[in-house]
């Protein structure tokens, strides 16, 4: 059926919204009361009123109206039968307003405003039930009916026919019986019921007092146990403090005893070594450099580490017995065994050794005994040229962690071609043969 244009969107597409309303109307026709959100209930209310109007038109002889309503239902058989028989007959005399929307408590999760959508004058009419409850309450306590109650009685019984008033009275009697079962009685029975309730309350109070005493006893025992644990903990702490004080006192007494001969001899030997090497070095720094009582075979290393901590220090001359243990006959041989190197710099970015190696670190260093390895340029020159049959050479420095990225070297030019990474030279064998032939011709 067509839907009004100014309806609520309900955050859904048109197809989804139509399916939602159709389901709600079918549930309302079958159960006569549904719980949903306020906005959905208001939209479904207008559709339900139109469906009831179609059912009334069918009673007037319009079969197309029932066919149209039947096409709106998903489950067509049961809703259509109820619409054409029960609902159409019930609202035959009512000109409109077949449904009612009542606000309910907000939903627990998102606090959405809920509502009850129901058919009026039905078995689950909320206003009819509330009016019957008010009548039962007024009859029990002999209260006069208010104007609002009288107006509601007229509203709920106007279109119920001749049996409307009788149904309302029967419903009120059911509420009255329910009130009596729950403890609500007439005024003449109030004193007896009050005395009965007082006895019940006294028994409850006695039970609560007993439980309270038991709880207080349990709490007191728990507190006493807690205090006992704290006392034990305090005693243990005091005992540990006493033991600690005794240990400290014993350590002090032991420290006052005279030193043994071995300990005294060790300390005196360290002092003599200190005075012979450097008179101003404190014993604590000397012990960090000299781990034994014997003189070090290389005292320059010890002095070098100490100089780092103390700053520049005036060097002292080493005695002959403290020189490195190298025989006089082998000193020249030790110098010649060192790797030769260039005596001067070969690059503008280099600094001469005499200027670079200054300061306390090099004061005790004999440069004649220091290793002088080959320069990288000289080592590369000793690497022989590698001859290949191909025009392109691939070089990766030998591969592995000591290698370098692979590059490809063109060997079309005559002469050796060096790798830009490692300096290894490659040459095509054809070029080498040609060079030898030229040299041979020139030699002739």
The pLDDT value recorded for residue 117 is 94
Structural contact between residues 96 and 52, judged by C-beta atoms closer than 8 angstroms:
no
The confidence score (pLDDT) of residue 324 equals 42
103 beta partners: 115
| Tens of pLDDT, residues 300-328 | 444 444 444 445 444 444 444 444 444 44
Q: What pLDDT, on the 0 to 100 scale, is given for residue 435?
A: 62
Q: What is the CA radius of gyration of the chain?
A: 57
- What pLDDT score does 332 carry? 43
Burial of 391: CB neighbours in 10 Å, binned 0-12, 13-18, 19+? exposed
* pLDDT of res. 298: 47
Q: How far, in Å, CA of 119 to CA of 128, rounded?
A: 11
Q: What is the pLDDT of residue 158?
A: 87
Segments of the chain with pLDDT less than 50: 1-2, 261, 274-281, 285-286, 288-310, 312-340, 444
Angle, alpha carbons 127-132-137 (nearest 5°): 125
Residues 6 or more apart whose Cβ sits within 8 Å of residue 392: 408, 409, 410, 411
pLDDT digits (tens, 9 = 90+) for 265-280: 555 555 555 444 444 4
In angstroms, the CA 203 to CA 363 distance is 104
pLDDT score at 4: 53
**How confident is the model at residue 279, as a pLDDT?**
47
Domains of the chain, with CATH numbers? 14-181 (3.90.1030.10), 376-443 (2.60.260.40)
């Amino acid at each position: 059926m067509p839907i009004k244009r100014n309806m609520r969107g309900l955050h859904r597409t048109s197809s989804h919204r139509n399916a939602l309303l159709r389901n709600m109307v079918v549930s309302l026709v079958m159960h006569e009361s549904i719980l949903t959100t306020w906005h959905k209930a208001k939209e479904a209310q207008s559709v339900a009123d139109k469906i009831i109007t179609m059912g009334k038109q069918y009673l007037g002889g319009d079969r197309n109206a029932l066919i149209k309503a039947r096409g709106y239902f998903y489950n067509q058989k049961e809703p259509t039968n109820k619409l054409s028989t029960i609902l159409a007959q019930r609202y035959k005399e009512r000109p409109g307003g077949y449904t009612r929307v009542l606000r309910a408590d907000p939903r627990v999760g998102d606090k959405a405003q809920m509502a009850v959508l129901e058919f009026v004058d039905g078995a689950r009419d909320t206003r009819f039930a509330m009016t019957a409850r008010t009548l039962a309450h007024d009859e029990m306590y002999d209260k006069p009916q208010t104007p609002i109650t009288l107006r509601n009685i007229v509203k709920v019984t106007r279109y119920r026919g001749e049996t409307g008033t009788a149904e309302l009275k029967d419903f009120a009697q059911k509420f009255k019986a329910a009130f009596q079962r729950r403890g609500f009685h007439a005024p003449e029975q109030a004193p007896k019921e009050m005395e009965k309730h007082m006895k019940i309350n006294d028994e409850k109070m006695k039970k609560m007092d007993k439980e309270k005493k038991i709880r207080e006893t349990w709490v007191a025992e728990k507190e006493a146990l807690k205090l006992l644990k704290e006392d034990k903990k305090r005693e243990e702490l005091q005992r540990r403090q006493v033991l600690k004080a005794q240990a400290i006192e014993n350590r002090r007494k032991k420290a006052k005893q005279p030193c043994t001969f071995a300990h005294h001899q060790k300390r005196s030997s360290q002092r003599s070594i200190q005075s012979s090497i450097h008179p101003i070095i404190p014993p604590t720094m000397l012990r960090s450099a000299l781990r034994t009582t014997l003189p070090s075979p290389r005292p320059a290393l010890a002095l070098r580490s100490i100089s780092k901590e103390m700053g520049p220090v005036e060097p002292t001359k080493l005695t002959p017995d403290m020189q490195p243990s190298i025989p006089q006959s082998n000193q020249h041989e030790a110098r010649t065994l060192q790797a030769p190197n260039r005596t001067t710099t070969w690059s503008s970015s280099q600094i001469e050794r005499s200027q670079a190696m200054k300061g306390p670190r090099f004061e005790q260093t004999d440069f004649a005994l220091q290793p002088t390895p080959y320069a990288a340029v000289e080592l590369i020159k000793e690497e022989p040229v590698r001859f290949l049959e191909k025009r392109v050479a691939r070089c990766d420095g030998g591969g592995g962690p000591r290698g370098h990225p692979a590059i490809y070297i063109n060997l079309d030019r005559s002469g050796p071609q060096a790798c830009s990474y490692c300096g290894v030279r490659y040459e095509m064998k054809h070029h080498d043969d040609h060079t030898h032939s030229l040299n041979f011709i020139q030699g002739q």
